[in-house]
Chains A and B, each alone.
Chain A
Amino acid sequence: MNNPILEVQGLSTTFHRGGVTLPALRDVSFNVGKGEVLGLVGESGSGKSVTLRSVLGLARRYGEVTGQVRWQGQDLTGLSEREMRHIRGREIAMIFQEPMTSLNPLLTVGRQLTETLKAHTDLNRRARKDRAIEMLDLVGIPAAASRLSDYPHQFSGGMRQRVMIAIALAVGPQLLLADEPTTALDVTIQAQILDLILKLSQDMDMGVILVTHDLGVVAQTCDRVAVMYAGRIVEQGAVRQVLKGPRHPYTVGLMQSVPEGVAPRTQLYSVPGTPPSLAALPQGCAFAPRCAFVSGPCAAQRPELESVGEGRELACFHPVEALDGVASKAGAHPASSPHMTEESAA
């Protein structure tokens, strides 16, 4: 990635709920290049959705956001709400997990599409309608012209997600923020939607940040991936490298919990415990209480995210070298995922 369009530097977001301070996001830094798909993975509460909302300036209404979000050289955090509105929708678009809540149920799909176009382009009425049909067609809605006058509830879940993508992309944004866009969908539909996002990103040379909890989705869709835990990025790098040779114990644990390539009906490897509450984060590494490699410094001091070469970054005092070592040390059942054996053989 030579020329990042989005550079996020030290982004931190803090919410206050009933006298409790919740550090939802801490010191998050990443870049997204043109036409690049970045995956943000993590479990619930890891801060992946908050990241998207902080980038888009939606989080600052509910909490404090500090750090830099440089969009094509301009720092978004300093912009007024008015200036942000200009960028939102036109340059950076966002789609959500549940399309029904972000589509207005009282307006036809055509109306919602043309209104976006009206707000962000100089197209005239006629051109807007043509563009709306073109977009519905582009996202694969059959008989697009005749569906402009339909309401959101007349579409199925997958089709609704397509409509939302059509609206988000109608103005031709350079960056798409996708918050679990396929979690509510079935696998066969999920595959279609991911294919669509990938194809559109290539055709339009558009950057994408894809938030998901499914490592399979990352493997099949993203170029790079950032793994988040308790509001921080713990590992970041090219998808091939990270998924084939995960080095943070949490990433390793996530990968091994997936029942793939494991003897059927045997015990799965599982990360013990549950993610920490944001209100009571451990002092040192947030993963230390669940980590098999934990040692003295882990509990006392937090490892910083540092480059380990080849564009990879890691925040761990005891990075995992080879997967074989993990399996035995974690006391897990020898996980023998095909790519894991590949890796250890290499």
Chain B
Amino acid sequence: MSEVTVNTTSNAPKRMTRARLALAKPGFLLGCAIIGISTLLALFPQVFAPYDPNFIDYLAVRQPPSWAHPFGTDSLGRDAFSRVIHAYSVNMQMAVLATVFALVIGVVVGALVGYYRGIADMIFGRVVDAVITFPFLVLVIAVVAVLGPGLINMYIAITMVGWVYYARLMRAEVIAQMGNDYAAAGLVMGYSDRRIIFRHLLPNAITPVVIYWMTDMALAILLGSSLGYLGLGAQPPQAEWGVLIAEGRNFITTAWWLSLMPGIAIVLTGLGFSLIGDGLADLLRPRG
């Protein structure tokens, strides 16, 4: 027998190289750093904030930034820096809670309609058309208007609208993956639909969804603070960036820092999520 099995071309280091390349990307590292710090601030705000965010000091109202109050104080004499820090808890929570249910529902529904097609898929198509033609914010505001303002209702509203986007993405990706013969091979092996969908198709189809999720978390913070600003999301006196911006809005000419600092916090976390999403796009791509 003249046949010899030859060593598999050793590509094992390639996987590591790719991980290292992604880590070496300064953008990805910066994103991780921003989100890492934001998470720490969100989990332990009391460690980093010098004051109680709701401690009212009528003797120190609307003070400009100083060593004692780095971001100054608001019209009730509350420390703006501490309020921005404590707002991390709420806003990071928004990033997760406003998206994670939409993600799960969207992934499952998208995978199922993409796999089975048929009537369910046609109905889904109509739902997508209906949702996509409305501006996202208008829909969410409409739902909040019905349910009433507040954080929980806001999460419900965003999830009710947001899952459609995940499902649409997932469905398209599952259909594309179905074109690969490994899906056909699974059917020929007699594997159950559940196994083929969740064990084979899903891990291969989910990459773009995860990347979208990162962007969506940034959008969720933006949306959440917009609703907070409009008085439909978090309710004062809770420290939340949108609420903080709204509180500072009347003093924009005299105490501009009150609105600017939470604004910067929004931009910074948004940037962090986007940078991570960008890095993940490289990291999660299968094969070398």
Q: Determine whether A and B are in direct contact in the complex, meaning some CB atoms lie less than 8 angstroms apart.
A: yes
Q: Which residues of A contact B (CB under 8 A)?
A: 18-19, 267, 269-270, 272-274, 277, 280, 289, 330-332
Q: Are B6 and A270 in contact (CB under 8 A)?
A: no
Which of chain A's residues have a CB closer than 8 A to the CB of B3? 270, 272
Cα A273 to Cα B9 in complex, Å, equals 11
| B151: min CB distance to chain A, Å | 46
Q: Are B1 and A267 in contact (CB under 8 A)?
A: yes
Beyond contacts A273-B6, A280-B9, A332-B2: 14 other A-B pairs, Cβ-Cβ < 8 A, are A18-B17, A18-B21, A267-B1, A269-B2, A270-B2, A270-B3, A272-B2, A272-B4, A272-B6, A273-B4, A274-B6, A289-B6, A330-B2, A331-B2
Which of chain B's residues have a CB closer than 8 A to the CB of A267? 1
Q: Which residues of B contact A (CB under 8 A)?
A: 1-4, 6, 9, 17, 21
Q: Are A277 and B9 in contact (CB under 8 A)?
A: yes
Question: Closest 8 A-B residue pairs measured CB to CB?
Answer: A273-B6, A272-B4, A277-B9, A331-B2, A332-B2, A274-B6, A270-B3, A272-B3
A-B contact pairs, 21 of them (CB 8 A): A18-B17, A18-B21, A19-B17, A267-B1, A269-B2, A270-B2, A270-B3, A272-B2, A272-B3, A272-B4, A272-B6, A273-B4, A273-B6, A274-B6, A274-B9, A277-B9, A280-B9, A289-B6, A330-B2, A331-B2, A332-B2
Which of chain B's residues have a CB closer than 8 A to the CB of A273? 4, 6
Which of chain B's residues have a CB closer than 8 A to the CB of A272? 2-4, 6
Closest residue to B21 on the A side, CB-wise? Answer: A18
Cα A66 to Cα B21 in complex, Å, equals 30
Which of chain B's residues have a CB closer than 8 A to the CB of A19? 17
The SS class assigned to the A binding surface is loop
Cα A272 to Cα B3 in complex, Å, equals 5
Closest residue to B7 on the A side, CB-wise? Answer: A273
Closest residue to A279 on the B side, CB-wise? Answer: B9
| B17: min CB distance to chain A, Å | 7
Which of chain B's residues have a CB closer than 8 A to the CB of A280? 9
Closest residue to A17 on the B side, CB-wise? Answer: B288
Which of chain B's residues have a CB closer than 8 A to the CB of A331? 2
Cα A19 to Cα B4 in complex, Å, equals 31
| A219: min CB distance to chain B, Å | 24
Cα A38 to Cα B1 in complex, Å, equals 35
Which of chain A's residues have a CB closer than 8 A to the CB of B21? 18
Cα A270 to Cα B1 in complex, Å, equals 9
Cα A330 to Cα B1 in complex, Å, equals 10
| B214: min CB distance to chain A, Å | 24
| B43: min CB distance to chain A, Å | 37
| B51: min CB distance to chain A, Å | 50
Closest residue to B10 on the A side, CB-wise? Answer: A280
Which of chain A's residues have a CB closer than 8 A to the CB of B17? 18-19
Cα A274 to Cα B9 in complex, Å, equals 9
Which of chain B's residues have a CB closer than 8 A to the CB of A289? 6
Cα A205 to Cα B265 in complex, Å, equals 72
Cα A14 to Cα B2 in complex, Å, equals 34
Cα A274 to Cα B5 in complex, Å, equals 9
Which of chain B's residues have a CB closer than 8 A to the CB of A277? 9
